């Protein structure tokens, strides 16, 4: 039973970490910096926070499958919309995970090999990953979704990233 | 190891100068100027104590414009650069 709570908790922590990661990534593109927060600090925090988010997403997925209270197979982890349990909402989580893995592999392992153009093309999947992951959380959260603090947390993350995206559109595609 | 800046790829983000201030300063437009001690055209090896910082600067470059070049001083391209100066 603890795995169920662990999965829920890890999912919420992932929401916060992924939102922070997206915001810091946008901060890199918009060249956000101050005397106390030089650009390399923003970038390094973006990278470290992303790695932490990947760890919590992994925990979230592992505990969800191992818990066994609802039937989620290992195939459902990577193959979207095929699960017996909530195929649509769980499938969104699977899509988000696939996108996250694509971003993880290209960013941390293949960035130098791919070159900037291809790297950026794949890294943009993060902008699709985040909203899909949020929808997955809202749709699958059940009673938890409407708990006041979960709702507040979700709305705060959406608002923060929304503001970030507005600022992001103000700058072009120059690296 | 030598540092090389790809001047076409460089977009003047300037992270390298923060991470390797001993070797890189920025010009008035924010583009990197390599210290003569690190300038590959002058055939300079990066001192061992600066190498970790150089690697951090290379890894931080958002434009992938900063590279570590392991080729030695007898490299052909290198020799040509030297002659052309």
C-alpha distance from B83 to closest chain A C-alpha (Å): 30
Chain-chain contact of A44 with B60 (C-beta, under 8 angstroms): yes
Q: What was the pLDDT predicted at A158? A: 97
The structural domain count of chain B equals: 1
Phi, psi (rounded to 5 degrees) for B8 = -75, -40
Which range marks the domain in which residue B47 is found? Answer: 2-84
Whole-number pLDDT of residue A173? 64
User: What is the rounded average pLDDT of the residues B61-74?
Assistant: 82
Q: Mean pLDDT throughout A92-114? A: 92
Chain B contact set for A119 (CB, 8 A): 64
Among A90, A84, A99, CA closest to A53: A99
Phi and psi at residue B3, in whole multiples of 5°?
-90, 135
pLDDT in tens, A120-174: 999 999 999 999 999 999 999 888 888 999 999 999 999 999 999 999 998 876 5
Q: In this model, does residue A32 exceed pLDDT 60? A: yes
- B9: CATH: 3.30.70.20
Q: Residue B60: its chain A contacts at CB < 8 A? A: 40, 43-44
Interchain proximity B60–A43, CB inside 8 Å: yes
Chain-chain contact of A175 with B62 (C-beta, under 8 angstroms):
yes
> What ipTM, to 2 d.p.?
0.78
Q: What is the pLDDT, as a whole number, of residue A64?
A: 94
Asked if A174 and B19 come within 8 Å (Cβ–Cβ), the reply is: no
Note the pLDDT of residue B2: 85
Q: What is the rounded CA–CA span in Å between residue A29 and residue A168?
A: 7
The answer on pLDDT for B83 being more than 50 is: no
What pLDDT sits at residue A174?
57
Contact yes or no for A40 and B9 at CB 8 A: no
Kindly compute the dihedral angle of the four CA atoms of residues A34, A40, A45, A51, in this order, to the nearest 10 degrees: 160
pLDDT score of B81: 47
Which among A39, A115, A116 has the least Cβ separation from residue B18? Answer: A39
Enumerate the residues of chain A whose CB falls inside 8 A of the CB of residue B13: 31, 39, 175
pLDDT in tens, B14-62: 999 999 998 899 999 999 998 877 776 777 788 889 999 999 999 999 9
**Stretch A6-28: mean pLDDT:** 96
Encode pLDDT of A39-93 as tens digits: 999 999 999 999 999 999 999 999 999 998 889 999 999 999 999 899 999 999 9
A 2-41: CB under 8 A from B: 28, 31, 38-40
d(CA A58, CA A139): 20
Gyration radius from chain A CA atoms: 17
Does pLDDT of B85 surpass 50? no
């Amino acid at each position: 039973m603890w795995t169920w709570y662990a999965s829920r908790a890890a999912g919420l922590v992932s929401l916060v970490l992924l939102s922070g990661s997206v915001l810091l990534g946008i901060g890199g593109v918009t060249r956000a910096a101050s005397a106390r927060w030089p650009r390399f600090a923003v970038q390094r925090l973006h990278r470290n926070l992303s790695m932490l988010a990947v760890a919590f997403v992994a925990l979230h997925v592992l505990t969800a499958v191992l818990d066994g209270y609802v039937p989620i197979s290992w195939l459902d982890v990577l193959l979207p919309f095929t699960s017996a349990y909530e195929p649509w909402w769980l499938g969104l989580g699977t899509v988000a995970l696939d996108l996250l893995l694509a971003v993880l592999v290209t960013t941390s392992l293949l960035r130098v090999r791919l070159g900037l153009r291809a790297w950026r093309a794949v890294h943009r999947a993060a902008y699709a990953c985040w909203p899909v992951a949020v929808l997955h959380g809202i749709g699958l959260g059940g009673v938890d979704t409407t708990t006041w603090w979960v709702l507040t947390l979700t709305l705060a993350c959406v608002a923060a990233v929304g503001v970030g995206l507005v600022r992001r559109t103000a700058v072009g595609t120059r690296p | 190891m030598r540092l090389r800046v790809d001047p076409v790829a460089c977009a003047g983000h300037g992270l390298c100068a923060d991470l390797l201030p001993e070797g890189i300063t920025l010009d008035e437009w924010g583009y990197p100027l390599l210290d003569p001690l690190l300038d590959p055209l002058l055939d300079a090896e990066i001192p061992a104590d600066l190498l970790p910082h150089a690697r951090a600067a290379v890894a931080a470059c958002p434009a992938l414009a900063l590279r570590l070049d392991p080729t030695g001083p007898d490299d052909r391209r290198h020799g040509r650069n030297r002659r052309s100066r």
